[in-house]
Amino acid sequence: MKVSIASIAKVRSGIAFREAIRHIEGAPIAVVQAGDIGADGQINPSELLRVSAIPTQGGLPMLASGEVLLQSRGQTYRAGAVPPHVGRMVATASILVITPGPSIRPDYLAHYLNDPITQAELRTRASGATIANLKKSALEEFEVLVPSLEDQKKIVALGETLRQQSRIEDRLAELRRIQLRALLEERAERNRGR
C-alpha cells in the first residue's frame, strides 16, 4: 500500500542557528547537521557538535529516539533514525524531522527514503535555483510503500545484511589491492638485487 508521509507521520523543520555552531566540549545539547547523517543512514552521537543553548523561543524541540532525520538541501537526501539513549539532541534547519506513527517503523522509513529510486524521486520534488531544497510540504505529500510491520522488519534486516556484505566485499577488495602492491614491491626489490 502506498500512502503519503503526512498520513503516517508528522514532519517538522530543524532549528535555524543564526551564527556558526561552536562546539563546547561536554555541553549538554548535541546538534545534528546534514553532514552528520552517514551514507549508510547512521548518526554517530559521539561525533556531533555540542552546545550549551539553542536559539529558540519557548520549549526546546529535542529529538526523540525513533524519529527519522532527512537532509533537506543539496542533491542527496540521506535519512537516518535517531539512535536510542542519545540524551538531549536537536537538528539544524537543513534537516526535516519525521516522527513516524504506529504503522511504520523508523528504521524502515529511513531505509525506504535512502533507496536510490526514492532518492531520485525526492530530487524531482526539490526546488531552488542554486541549492535544491526539499520543502516540508513536498515531503508530506511524498508517498511511501508501507508493508506490514513484520515485513518492514524483514526488509530492514535484509537491507542491513546486504550493506554488511558490501562492506566485507569492499574490505576484501582493499586487502587484495594491498596484497598486489606488496607482491609488486617484493618482486621489484628482488629484481634490484640481481
- Cell numbers placing 158: 535484509
Determine the angle formed by the axes of helices 106-114 and 116-125, rounding to 10 degrees. 80
Q: What is the pLDDT of residue 147?
A: 95
Mean pLDDT, residues 5-33 taken together: 89
Q: What is the pLDDT of residue 194?
A: 65
Mean pLDDT, residues 157-169 taken together: 91
pTM of the shown model: 0.83
- CATH class of the domain defined by 2-146: alpha beta
* Burial (CB count <10 Å: 0-12, 13-18, 19+), residue 31: buried
Mean pLDDT, residues 76-102 taken together: 91
Give 35-49 pLDDT, tens digit per residue: 999 888 888 888 898
